[in-house]
Amino acid sequence: MKIEIKKVSKKFKDIEVLKNVSMTLESGHIYGFTGHNGSGKTVLLKLICAFLEPTTGEILFDGKNVIKENSFPPSTRALIEKPNFLSDLTGYENLELLARIQNIIGEKEIEDTLKKVGLEEDKDKLYYKYSLGMKQKLGIAQVLMEDPEILILDEPFNGLDENSIKNIRKILLKEKGKLIILAIHDKEDIKVLCDEIYKFNDGTVKKA
């Protein structure tokens, strides 16, 4: 899988949040997006996911512009900003509900993913009773559970304790044959996980 970001800019009213950004992202790499809050990282992730449309430029998935084709990015799952699920359902029930959209996995895959992220003992607990770390793990689980080719995670380690961080790092490294994009700021996470790094600064992006 290859994502080509070609001269992409994004404006909200008169504010240009991204300025003529270009990069090529390919399977087999873990990419790190770094930079201060408000530098444009999350906006670019939303553009890649087709949640937003570029003001100028285009984003291609294996040569296809999904926005022009009125489609969705292929085999892509994302956790952007804070995870948000239905509060009156359990962790398992929330994932089951999402899985029904594509209907490509069943109970076993959901159970296995919950175990992988360390939520097997909390899968039947209502979501509103989840701690911040548990909510984050559930968000990561919904990204992983259908085995997508492209994984996009915005600050994936928010709210996680040290052991959970180490576990999620191991999971992501095992997925390295895929195309993984991480918006992260911790230097240790960048060092351990990322083989290519892009530095965001007030809407401009440079390869570090």
CA 87-143-84 angle, to 5 degrees, is 25
pLDDT of residue 38: 86
| Pair (65, 43) in one structural domain | yes
Whether pLDDT at 92 is above 90: yes
pLDDT band at 82 (very low <50, low <70, confident <90, very high): confident
Whether 70 maps to a domain, the answer reads yes
Whether pLDDT at 125 is above 90: yes
Rg (CA), the chain: 17
Whether pLDDT at 176 is above 90: no
Whether pLDDT at 4 is above 90: yes
| Pair (12, 71) in one structural domain | yes
Whether pLDDT at 171 is above 90: yes
The residue that leads in pLDDT, 110 or 208, is 110
Whether 195 maps to a domain, the answer reads yes
Give the tens place of pLDDT for each residue, 128-166.
999 999 999 999 999 999 999 999 999 999 999 999 999
| Pair (136, 68) in one structural domain | no
Give the integer Cα–Cα distance in Å for 10 and 24. 18
pLDDT of residue 55: 97
Domain boundary among 94, 128, 147: 147
Whether the Cβ atoms of residue 35 and residue 18 lie closer than 8 Å to each other: no
Whether 201 maps to a domain, the answer reads yes
| Pair (1, 71) in one structural domain | yes
| Pair (93, 193) in one structural domain | no
| Pair (37, 63) in one structural domain | yes
pLDDT band at 95 (very low <50, low <70, confident <90, very high): very high
| Pair (61, 153) in one structural domain | yes
Whether pLDDT at 37 is above 90: no
Give the tens place of pLDDT for each residue, 104-123.
999 999 999 999 999 999 99
CATH classification of the domain holding 62:
3.40.50.300
Whether the Cβ atoms of residue 31 and residue 181 lie closer than 8 Å to each other: yes
pLDDT of residue 160: 96
The number of beta carbons lying within 10 Å of the beta carbon of residue 55 is: 14
Whether the Cβ atoms of residue 200 and residue 39 lie closer than 8 Å to each other: yes
| Pair (130, 159) in one structural domain | no
Whether the Cβ atoms of residue 118 and residue 137 lie closer than 8 Å to each other: yes
Among candidate residues 142, 145, 148, the one with its CA nearest the CA of residue 108: 145
Q: Which two tokens stand for residue 28?
A: 């087999």
Whether 80 maps to a domain, the answer reads no
Give how far Cα 147 sits from Cα of 85, 96, 201, 207, Å: 20, 15, 32, 28
Paired strand residues for 21? 8
Mean pLDDT score across all residues of the chain: 96
Among candidate residues 148, 149, 125, the one with its CA nearest the CA of residue 135: 125
| Pair (143, 154) in one structural domain | no
Task: Provide the residue range defining the domain that includes 133.
Answer: 86-147
| Pair (42, 130) in one structural domain | no
| Pair (7, 66) in one structural domain | yes
pLDDT, mean of residues 41-48: 96
Domain boundary among 129, 147, 165: 147
Whether pLDDT at 7 is above 90: yes
pLDDT of residue 143: 98
Give the tens place of pLDDT for each residue, 188-199.
999 999 999 999
Whether the Cβ atoms of residue 48 and residue 3 lie closer than 8 Å to each other: yes
- The label of the residue with tokens 């997006």 reads 33
Whether 69 maps to a domain, the answer reads yes
With a CB cutoff of 8 Å and minimum separation 6, the contacts of 164 are 118, 133, 137
pLDDT band at 182 (very low <50, low <70, confident <90, very high): very high
| Pair (70, 17) in one structural domain | yes
> Number of folded domains in the chain?
2
